[in-house]
């Protein structure tokens, strides 16, 4: 028989307290999270509570209590058998953001364990898991025991959230999505950090993006989220740093799934786009510093660059692929990745400098091609997308290719040509360069 909670913890009591602007106790927050996990709160009660939090907010102590309760709603991975320091990275995402793929093997090749649990994309392209699954045979659905063994053996694992990890988050996120309560900083903090902290990590680096291609366009709002996540993570005992990064332009030259894996391979050979390489190094530096394997940013960067120059980072990626059932031959032959049946070049209509590439216009082209999903249950086509994307500041000549569309058929490719062209603006002078990293918060 289900035990009856004290009257002060009845759903309607807790909801009313937050509705009226009170600070909730740890017990009240715990009752809410248990209700989401064991079904003792009805969906309408959980939804009412989410809206109350959305409207009234939570202070840092409440947010930390919510994060801790959600983290403990399931299993916390035991990686005590992994002797290396364990650091992960989380990004709020953006157009062309494939940084987890080169970053994880690069950092792991430097002697830091990287337990990385990622998600799927809902939007213009797939998420990290979808990109990885474009590698033939790659398995992201490892059990917790497989995850632990791979961390011991390889020092890095790139997997999806298991049913055991933070189950309260899965329930609450599904309700946030349909109750217009997604954009709430305490709920975002708890959702992200409950999963990350349940991985068994020692510390965490966050890539919080702002700009036209970001989840949060306004820098001040993104900074508020970054500050909140750092404070909450530190409060629950996990040293954390956040990089506030510019997402006003697409990252790199590829947007899609298989094409972003191909660009990852270029990065791990030191030939990737300058912006992707630079931001990967900046995130990696913070991971090495938090892990304690380096104490100086210059030395940390040199160590990361050596991992690339020596081939160790690329070899580590091949090891990850093989360990998770994928075909490691893609490392040497990207042609083994899914190939789109149709291609269409987008040509520059004039000579001059590219003064802007509007990230969401590129993103929507990728989505219409089939690289992303509108609903969680939608499938994606791993082969389609956009590559050879010219970047802001480049000089081009009239008739020069500025992007390549990869599509399922010729008609789809041709239909997208004009839409993708509209993402580009041209001028007679190069625009001023923009710093990728705006601030580091710790």
Q: Which residues are catalytic?
A: 90, 169, 176, 191, 195
Q: Token pair 């009170």 is at which residue?
A: 22
Q: Token pair for residue 70?
A: 């959600």
Structure tokens at 127: 């998420």
Do the strands 401-407 and 342-347 form a parallel or antiparallel pair, or are they unpaired? Answer: antiparallel
Are 329 and 340 within 8 A, CB to CB?
A: no
Q: How far is it between the farthest Cα atoms of the chain? A: 75
Q: Measure the CA–CA gap between 75 and 144, rounded to whole angstroms.
A: 9
Convert 117-129 into a string of H (helix), E (strand) and C (coil): EECCCCECCCCHH
What element of type H or E holds 441? strand 437-441
| CB-CB neighbours of 119 under 10 Å | 17
What are φ and ψ of residue 115, in 5° steps? -85, 105
| Rounded Cα–Cα distance for residues 214 and 245 (Å) | 10
Q: How far apart are the first and last CA of the chain?
A: 47
H helices present in 198-335, as ranges: 219-235, 258-268, 274-291, 297-309, 312-323
Q: How many CB atoms lie within 10 A of CB 401?
A: 12
Structure tokens at 7: 């009257």
């Amino acid at each position: 028989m289900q035990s009856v909670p004290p009257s002060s913890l009845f759903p309607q009591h807790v909801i009313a307290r937050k509705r009226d602007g009170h600070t909730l106790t740890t017990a009240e927050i715990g009752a809410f999270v248990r209700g989401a996990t064991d079904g003792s709160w009805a969906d309408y009660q959980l939804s009412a509570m989410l809206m109350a939090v959305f409207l009234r907010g939570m202070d840092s102590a409440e947010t930390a209590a919510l994060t801790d309760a959600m983290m403990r709603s399931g299993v916390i991975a035991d990686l005590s058998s992994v002797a290396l320091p364990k650091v992960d990275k989380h990004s709020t995402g953006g157009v062309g953001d494939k940084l987890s793929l080169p970053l994880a093997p690069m950092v792991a090749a430097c002697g830091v364990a990287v337990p990385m649990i990622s998600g799927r994309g809902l939007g213009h392209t797939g998420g990290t898991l979808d990109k990885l699954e474009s590698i033939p045979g790659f398995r992201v659905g490892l059990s917790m025991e497989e995850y632990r063994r791979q961390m011991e053996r390889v020092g890095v694992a790139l997997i999806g959230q298991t049913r055991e990890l933070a189950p309260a988050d899965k329930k609450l996120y599904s309700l946030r999505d349909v109750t217009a309560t997604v954009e709430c900083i305490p709920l975002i903090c708890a959702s992200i950090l409950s999963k990350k902290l349940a991985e068994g990590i020692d510390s965490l680096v966050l890539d919080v993006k702002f700009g036209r291609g970001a989840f949060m366009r306004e820098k001040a709002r993104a900074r508020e989220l970054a500050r909140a996540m750092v404070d909450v993570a530190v409060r629950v005992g996990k040293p954390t740093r956040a990089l506030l990064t510019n997402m006003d332009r697409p990252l790199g030259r590829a947007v899609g799934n298989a094409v972003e894996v191909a660009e990852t391979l270029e990065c791990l050979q030191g030939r990737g786009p300058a912006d992707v390489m630079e931001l990967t190094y900046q995130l990696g530096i913070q991971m090495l510093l938090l892990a304690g394997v380096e104490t100086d940013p210059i030395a940390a960067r040199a160590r990361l660059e050596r991992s690339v120059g020596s081939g160790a980072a690329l070899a580590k990626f091949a090891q990850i692929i093989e360990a998770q059932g994928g075909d490691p031959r893609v490392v040497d032959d990207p042609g083994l990745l899914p190939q789109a049946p149709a291609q269409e070049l987008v040509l520059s209509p004039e000579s001059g400098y590219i003064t802007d590439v509007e990230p969401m216009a590129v993103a929507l082209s990728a989505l219409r091609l089939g690289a992303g999903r509108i609903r969680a249950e939608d499938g994606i086509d791993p082969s389609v997308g956009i590559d050879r994307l010219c970047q802001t500041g480049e000089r081009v000549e009239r008739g020069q290719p500025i992007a390549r569309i990869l599509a399922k058929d010729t008609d789809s490719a041709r239909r997208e040509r004009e839409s993708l062209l509209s993402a580009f603006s041209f001028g007679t002078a190069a625009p001023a360069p923009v710093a990728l990293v705006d601030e580091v918060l710790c």
